[in-house]
């Protein structure tokens, strides 16, 4: 559909554009690209840009404008030209590269390549590819690119050089398709100075050991990436390995000779290679130590035979003693290995050490699978670095003392006890005898690690030390096994051995172990290495073990030893994963959780608050588990940080709201909401729904279980966004419809903050698109009934919001669908409230082409109405036929088209003549195909009958019209025409002003969200924090003040419905002016013509009559003269 203009309109446009420099332009837009196209104050002097605008205006449906994101346009610089992208916007070729043709029919100048498959041409004949939100280069561009499409929308023009009401389809992309962009960033005035901490702590030793000659690449990698080399040396090495044997070696010297021989032969294979091959290896692997790599390669291939023989020739009684002791020391606690008390009595430090030990054990266990001296050496060194914390950044958050050699020894004792690695003495001996570089294992960090391991093994070789470790372990094992042997009140794990008949006996045995320490004096003297203070590898104390057993009698018995397990012990007891006693009690839903809570409440408020907000490894505090015992929420709720988010982004409030299966869900949620509200008030904070979103961007509104809960939440917190999209591009209403939550739909639909037809920026889907109903209703399907009820609620709400109810009847378009023949159909919902106690709604389905025919037929039947048939009534930019569906662009156009159809229906409903016409009555309330012939025949018949009635009327004065009446009509219409023209100009200016205000409002919101990026002068998130210390103080101050100003700015809602209605109101005025011109130029002119002709005929008739009268008078005079003369004669 093309924009047509009359000659007069072209003259007016020409006059307007010739004076464009004199026209005052509105302020610039935030995006330079948009400003260059749609708000260009120099358009009159830029013929190329002017031609682009004219092309877009002539066929807006055929083109999509790719608009680079605002922050990119403001910050980026093109490396090729050295210009900013703000400057490149003025280049017409740059603009053409960002305008794509989406017409399937193509055109004489711009023919699409293959739009169905996503290949599209730009205005300067470059090819791009768009699919699944990604824009790629195909042909014609200097640089390759893969860009993300951020969103798409329609840009409503406000510039005077663009026709009124014009809209352009635009897609925001993250960068420009032209040039080679870079970002200037913040200028670093001076380099950062990182203070060097002087300490003799072991974990501050250098980790990047430059003296280490261990190659980065293994020889396996060299062979895999150089097939020619592999084919050359592969067979030689295979023969070498197959011929290697240690059967005849009877001593270490023989074994050493075998090792030296095989290494010599393997080395000669490599040394005999051509120099060009060595150069190729160095070129491909510049940092490789080829000799070391080959050494390891040979050792790995002979290790199994060589290691077996080495063990046979080097038997060790010390190794046997240590391995026999493993069975008796597997319950050794970290508190019993000699770790200093200042580490053990600090729960945070102890938890840190336990994590290190667990990680070190997993590393150290790999030692028994190592197949070379280098691998074994690296495992020992890795164990050392894990224990000292040298490979992590955790120590930066802790005020830890230095890990001295004695502490390291204590940790290694625990690691060896629980790793149970065999042949420790012989492994160290093997490393020393057959390592590649002796210097590497005698000096530096690796040398220190090996010497430390030797010292620990020497400790284990002492029988007294082993006996002491066994005693510790056996006492721990005795207590732990008694606790674990007690039955569980809730056999959740379905354990076969859960017999409660022996519980009393087992608990009595436990009490006998604890009774010697129950007095205050004895409890005070409990040593740190006592079995009572022992902890498992996971950091579980005997208190924690009893809780995990979930036996109330056992838990109660142990907790009643108040002097042994004090309040401080309860507050400080945490596992390696950060789990506290109360969190475990809540998770297992044991009644002890209530008693434990009241015990904790005896502490100071700051201690209680600190305890309640301890996070486990999953980021959860006590509040995340309170739904297990919701009666504790009023008791502990005031100490919970309700904004703490776990690893998946859920706050305690979020976790409680999601607990759908809770027996007292409604009561629990009401209590929680009130506590949360009081918590915010007590901390002088404002409730922010964004702080209660999970990692999928679900708000609390998204996850509400039912309408009752949703009503309580909406009533409690007014500052909510009911239209927020989650990561799945769904609003809460969409999610309710998707999961058939009828009560939630009923509740949220009543809230005025809801945007009923809000669409996502990717798939362009609204709430109506998520309705799941079949064409034919299935009465037996319960979900179908629920979904149909939801559909009726939404349809009714759409009808109330977007259509007019007149005479208790209303009709609205509720959705678009494509039938089997791919024809676009409109689903109308017609309501007649005059029908009581019956179904008063009807579905009417018509094709869109049928609706256009209905509207134009309405104009033919009632030509004098204000409804027109030009492009403002059916805009070209909404056209979907013969247009490629680029990134769901068709759905975007359909959404706007549905809104437009409802506006047109409203225009019809407000006109009594059109509303009551048989055409509207039948078309909008009865499912019947539109046939225009009967209506046109009826109109012709009515017109003919009226004409015949007027001609056969007996009253001759019925249709008499005097000239003075016509003159009054003429004067009235001309005065009305002047007034309507003034109104039309005013509406034009107002429309453009409102459109500009809405566009600038979007700029304000955008700059508020991205002001940090603009301050750091980069679009990358890490650049903000990276450059924060380099941003000038003045800029930070300006940033803060600007953000406060923007946050407090008044925000006008961008009402698309208002703009479209205003546009059609002006179109109605233009149609009225057209009808006035038609009346003045045709009917009145015809009347005056007819009046002149009739007047002329009247004058002729009068002349004839006067002539005839004169003749008759003369005849009478002659006759009377003759008679007089005759009388005289006689």
Average pLDDT for 867-871: 74
Evaluate if residue 779 carries a pLDDT over 80. no
What is 976-1042 written as a DSSP string?
HHHHHHHHHHHHHHHHHHHHHHHHHHHHHHHHHHHHHHHHHT-S-HHHHHHTGGGS-HHHHHHHHHH
Same domain, 29 and 77: yes
Element (H, E) at 137: strand 134-139
Identify the CATH number of the domain in which residue 173 sits. Answer: 2.30.180
Model pLDDT, residue 500: 81
627 lies in some domain: no
Q: Which of 313, 344, 362 is the last residue of a domain?
A: 313
Structure letter (DSSP) for residue 837 = T
660-689 residues labelled b (16+ CB within 10 A) or e (exposed) = eebeebeebbbbbbebbeebbeeeeeebeb
Evaluate if residue 206 carries a pLDDT over 50. no
Q: What are the distances in angstroms from CA 832 to CA 603, 790, 806, 901, 910?
A: 68, 20, 10, 20, 16
Joined tokens for residue 296 = 């390891």
Select the more confidently predicted residue: 954 or 773: 773
Evaluate if residue 1096 carries a pLDDT over 90. no
- Relative to beta strand 809-818, strand 824-832 is antiparallel
Average pLDDT for 526-539: 93
Same domain, 62 and 174: yes
Q: Which of 572, 588, 603 is the last residue of a domain?
A: 603
**Which of 322-331, 341-350, 731-740 is predicted with the least confidence, judged by mean pLDDT?**
341-350
Model pLDDT, residue 103: 87
Average pLDDT for 295-315: 92
Model pLDDT, residue 289: 87
Average pLDDT for 256-281: 91
Evaluate if residue 157 carries a pLDDT over 50. yes
For residue 1050, name the pLDDT band (cuts at 50, 70, 90). very low
Evaluate if residue 538 carries a pLDDT over 90. yes
Q: What digits encode the pLDDT tens for the residues 588-617? A: 999 999 999 999 999 999 999 999 999 999
Evaluate if residue 477 carries a pLDDT over 90. yes
Model pLDDT, residue 776: 58
Average pLDDT for 826-839: 80
Model pLDDT, residue 695: 93
Query: Which range among 634-648, 930-944, 949-963 has the greatest average pLDDT?
Result: 634-648
Same domain, 378 and 518: no
Same domain, 78 and 164: yes
Residue 920's domain comprises 806-949
163 lies in some domain: yes
Identify the CATH number of the domain in which residue 431 sits. Answer: 1.20.1050.80
CB distance 739 to 761 below 8 Å? no
Query: Which range among 41-45, 167-171, 962-966 has the greatest average pLDDT?
Result: 167-171
Model pLDDT, residue 749: 94
Same domain, 267 and 379: no
Select the more confidently predicted residue: 998 or 1039: 998
Evaluate if residue 925 carries a pLDDT over 90. no
Evaluate if residue 682 carries a pLDDT over 80. yes
768-791 residues labelled b (16+ CB within 10 A) or e (exposed) = bbbbebeeeeeeeeeebbbbbebb
What is d(CA 228, CA 209) in angstroms, rounded to the nearest whole number?
Answer: 34
Evaluate if residue 1043 carries a pLDDT over 60. no
For residue 382, name the pLDDT band (cuts at 50, 70, 90). very high
Same domain, 248 and 371: no
Joined tokens for residue 104 = 């399937």
3-state secondary structure of 215: coil
Joined tokens for residue 40 = 């260009």
Identify the CATH number of the domain in which residue 865 sits. Answer: 3.30.1520.10
Number of domains comprising the chain = 6
Average pLDDT for 916-924: 87
CB distance 1000 to 27 below 8 Å? yes
CB distance 570 to 546 below 8 Å? no
Model pLDDT, residue 1028: 54
Model pLDDT, residue 330: 92
983 lies in some domain: yes
633 lies in some domain: no
Same domain, 176 and 237: no
**Which of 50-59, 182-191, 698-707, 1100-1109 is predicted with the least confidence, judged by mean pLDDT?**
182-191
- Relative to beta strand 167-173, strand 146-156 is antiparallel
Q: Which of 578, 603, 628 is the last residue of a domain?
A: 603
Evaluate if residue 12 carries a pLDDT over 70. no
Average pLDDT for 97-114: 70
Phi and psi at 286, nearest 5°, equal -65, -30
Same domain, 445 and 509: no
Question: What is the pTM for the complete model shown?
Answer: 0.81
680 lies in some domain: no
Model pLDDT, residue 733: 95
Q: What digits encode the pLDDT tens for the residues 735-762? A: 999 999 999 999 999 998 898 889 988 8
CB distance 481 to 545 below 8 Å? no
Evaluate if residue 7 carries a pLDDT over 70. no
**Which of 517-526, 936-945, 982-991 is predicted with the least confidence, judged by mean pLDDT?**
936-945
Phi and psi at 198, nearest 5°, equal -85, 115
**Which of 362-376, 486-500, 863-877, 888-902 is predicted with the least confidence, judged by mean pLDDT?**
486-500
What is d(CA 140, CA 149) in angstroms, rounded to the nearest whole number?
Answer: 20
What is d(CA 659, CA 589) in angstroms, rounded to the nearest whole number?
Answer: 14
Tell me what the pLDDT averaged over the chain comes to. Answer: 84
592 lies in some domain: yes
What is d(CA 535, CA 545) in angstroms, rounded to the nearest whole number?
Answer: 9
3-state secondary structure of 429: helix
Evaluate if residue 1032 carries a pLDDT over 70. no
Model pLDDT, residue 1036: 52
Percent of the chain with pLDDT over 70: 85
Model pLDDT, residue 14: 40
Joined tokens for residue 380 = 């020992």
Same domain, 998 and 1037: yes
**Which of 773-782, 798-807, 813-822 is predicted with the least confidence, judged by mean pLDDT?**
773-782
3-state secondary structure of 824: strand
Evaluate if residue 1051 carries a pLDDT over 60. no
265 lies in some domain: yes
Evaluate if residue 1034 carries a pLDDT over 60. no
Select the more confidently predicted residue: 201 or 601: 601
694 lies in some domain: no
Select the more confidently predicted residue: 110 or 376: 376
992-1003 residues labelled b (16+ CB within 10 A) or e (exposed) = bebbbebbbbbb
Same domain, 362 and 272: no
Evaluate if residue 1048 carries a pLDDT over 50. no
Evaluate if residue 912 carries a pLDDT over 90. no
Which of 887, 769, 765, 995 lies closest to 152 in space, CA to CA?
887
Is the four-CA dihedral 145, 150, 156, 160 of positive or negative sign?
A: negative
Average pLDDT for 703-722: 92
What is 869-899 written as a DSSP string?
-STTTS-GGG--TTB---TTHHHHHHHHHHH
For residue 702, name the pLDDT band (cuts at 50, 70, 90). very high
Cβ neighbours of 280 (radius 10 Å): 15
Model pLDDT, residue 481: 94
Same domain, 305 and 167: no
Cβ neighbours of 541 (radius 10 Å): 22
Same domain, 327 and 309: no
What is d(CA 159, CA 26) in angstroms, rounded to the nearest whole number?
Answer: 8
Model pLDDT, residue 879: 84
Joined tokens for residue 650 = 């859920």
């Amino acid at each position: 559909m093309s924009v047509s203009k009359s000659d007069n309109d072209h003259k007016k446009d020409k006059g307007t554009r010739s004076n464009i420099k004199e026209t005052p332009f509105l302020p610039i837009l935030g995006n330079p690209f948009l400003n260059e196209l749609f708000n260009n104050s120099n358009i009159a002097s830029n013929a190329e840009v002017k031609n682009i605008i004219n092309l877009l205006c002539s066929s807006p449906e055929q083109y999509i404008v790719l608009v680079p994101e605002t922050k990119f346009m403001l910050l980026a610089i093109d490396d090729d030209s050295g210009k900013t992208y703000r400057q490149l916007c003025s280049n017409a070729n740059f603009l053409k590269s960002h305008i794509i043709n989406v017409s399937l029919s193509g055109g004489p100048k711009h023919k699409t390549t293959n739009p169905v498959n996503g290949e599209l041409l730009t205005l300067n004949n470059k090819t791009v590819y768009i699919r699944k939100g990604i824009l790629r280069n195909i042909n014609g561009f200097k640089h390759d690119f893969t860009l993300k499409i951020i969103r798409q929308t329609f840009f409503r023009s406000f510039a005077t050089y663009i026709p009124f009401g014009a809209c352009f389809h635009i897609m925001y992309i993250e960068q420009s398709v032209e040039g080679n962009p870079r970002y200037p960033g913040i200028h670093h005035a001076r380099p950062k100075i990182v203070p060097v901490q002087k300490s003799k702590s072991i974990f501050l030793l250098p980790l990047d050991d430059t003296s280490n000659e261990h190659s980065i690449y293994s020889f396996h990698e060299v062979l895999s990436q150089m097939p020619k080399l592999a084919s050359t040396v592969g067979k030689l090495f295979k023969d070498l390995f197959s011929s290697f044997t240690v059967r005849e070696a009877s001593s270490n010297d023989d074994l050493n000779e075998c090792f030296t021989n095989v290494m010599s032969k393997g080395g000669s294979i490599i040394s005999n290679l051509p120099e060009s091959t060595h150069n190729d290896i160095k070129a491909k692997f510049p940092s490789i130590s080829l000799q070391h790599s080959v050494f390891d390669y040979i050792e790995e291939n002979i290790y199994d035979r060589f290691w077996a023989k080495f063990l046979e020739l080097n038997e060790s009684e010390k190794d046997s003693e240590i391995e026999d002791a493993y069975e008796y020391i597997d319950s050794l606690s970290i508190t019993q290995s000699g770790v200093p008390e200042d580490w053990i009595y600090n729960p945070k430090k102890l938890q840190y050490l336990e994590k290190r030990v667990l990680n070190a054990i997993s590393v150290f266990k790999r030692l028994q699978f190592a197949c070379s001296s280098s691998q074994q050496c690296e495992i020992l060194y890795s164990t050392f670095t894990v224990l000292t914390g040298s490979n992590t950044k955790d120590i930066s958050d802790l005020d830890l003392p230095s890990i001295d050699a004695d502490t390291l020894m204590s940790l290694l004792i625990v690691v060896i006890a629980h790793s149970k690695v065999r042949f420790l003495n012989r492994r160290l001996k093997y490393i020393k005898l057959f390592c590649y570089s002796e210097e590497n294992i005698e000096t530096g960090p690796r040398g220190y690690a090996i010497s430390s391991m030797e010292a620990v093994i020497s400790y284990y070789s002492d029988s007294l030390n082993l006996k002491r470790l066994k005693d510790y372990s056996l006492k721990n094992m005795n207590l732990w096994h008694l606790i674990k042997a007690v039955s569980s009140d809730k056999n959740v794990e379905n354990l076969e051995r859960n017999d409660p008949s022996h519980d009393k006996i087992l608990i009595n045995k436990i009490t006998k172990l604890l009774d010697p320490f129950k007095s205050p004096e004895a409890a005070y003297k409990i040593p740190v290495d006592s079995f009572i203070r022992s902890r498992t590898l996971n950091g579980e104390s005997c208190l924690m073990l009893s809780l995990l057993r979930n036996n109330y009698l056992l838990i109660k018995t142990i907790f009643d030893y108040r002097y042994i397990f004090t309040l401080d012990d309860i507050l400080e007891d945490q596992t390696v994963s950060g789990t506290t006693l109360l969190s475990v009690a809540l998770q297992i839903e044991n009644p002890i959780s209530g008693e434990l809570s009241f015990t904790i409440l005896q502490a100071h408020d700051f201690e209680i608050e600190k305890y309640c907000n301890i996070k486990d490894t999953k980021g959860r505090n006590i509040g995340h588990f309170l739904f297990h015992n919701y009666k504790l929420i009023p008791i502990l709720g005031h100490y919970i940080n309700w904004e703490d988010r776990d690893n998946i982004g859920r706050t305690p409030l979020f976790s409680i709201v999601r607990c759908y299966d809770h027996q007292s869900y409604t009561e629990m949620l009401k209590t929680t909401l009130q506590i949360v509200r009081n918590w915010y008030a007590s901390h002088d904070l404002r409730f922010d729904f964004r702080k209660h979103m999970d990692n999928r961007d679900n708000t609390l509104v998204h996850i509400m279980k039912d309408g009752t809960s949703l009503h309580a939440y909406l009533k409690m917190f007014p500052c909510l966004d009911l239209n927020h999209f989650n990561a799945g591009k769904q609003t809460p209403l969409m999610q309710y419809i998707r999961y058939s939550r009828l009560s939630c739909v009923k509740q949220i639909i009543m809230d005025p903050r809801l945007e009923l037809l809000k669409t996502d920026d990717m798939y362009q889907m609204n709430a109506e698109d998520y309705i799941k109903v079949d064409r034919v209703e299935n009465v037996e399907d319960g979900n179908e009934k629920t979904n149909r009820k939801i559909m009726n609620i939404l349809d009714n709400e759409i009808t109330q919001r977007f259509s007019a109810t007149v005479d208790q009847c209303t009709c609205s378009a509720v959705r678009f669908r494509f039938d089997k023949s791919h024809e676009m159909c409109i689903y109308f919902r017609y309501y007649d409230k005059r029908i009581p106690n019956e179904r008063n709604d009807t579905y009417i389905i018509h094709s869109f082409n049928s609706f256009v025919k209905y509207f134009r037929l309405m104009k033919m039947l009632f030509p004098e109405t204000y409804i027109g048939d030009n492009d403002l009534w059916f805009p070209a930019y909404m056209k979907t036929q013969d247009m490629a569906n680029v990134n769901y662009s068709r759905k975007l156009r359909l959404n706007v088209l549905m809104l437009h159809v409802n506006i047109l229906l409203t225009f019809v409903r407000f006109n009594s003549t059109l509303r009551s016409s048989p055409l509207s009555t039948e078309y909008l309330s009865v499912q019947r195909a539109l046939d225009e012939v009967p209506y046109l025949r009826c109109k012709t018949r009515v017109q003919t009958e009226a004409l015949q009635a007027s001609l056969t009327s007996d009253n001759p004065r019925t249709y008499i019209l005097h000239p003075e009446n016509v003159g009054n009509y003429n004067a009235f219409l001309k005065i009305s025409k002047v007034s309507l023209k003034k109104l039309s100009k005013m509406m034009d200016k107002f429309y453009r002003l409102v459109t500009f205000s809405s566009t600038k409002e979007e700029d304000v919101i955008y700059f508020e969200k991205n002001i940090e990026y603009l301050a750091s002068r980069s679009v990358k998130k890490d650049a903000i924090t990276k450059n924060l210390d380099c941003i000038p103080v003045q800029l930070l101050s300006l940033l803060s003040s600007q953000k406060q100003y923007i946050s407090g700015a008044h925000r006008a809602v961008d009402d698309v419905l208002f703009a479209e209605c205003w546009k059609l109101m002006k179109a109605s005025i233009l149609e009225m002016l057209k009808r006035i011109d038609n009346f003045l130029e045709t009917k009145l002119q015809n009347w005056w013509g007819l009046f002149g002709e009739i007047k002329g005929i009247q004058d002729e008739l009068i002349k004839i009559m006067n002539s005839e009268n004169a003749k008759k008078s003369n005849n009478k005079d002659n006759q009377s003269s003759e008679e007089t003369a005759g009388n005289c004669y006689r």
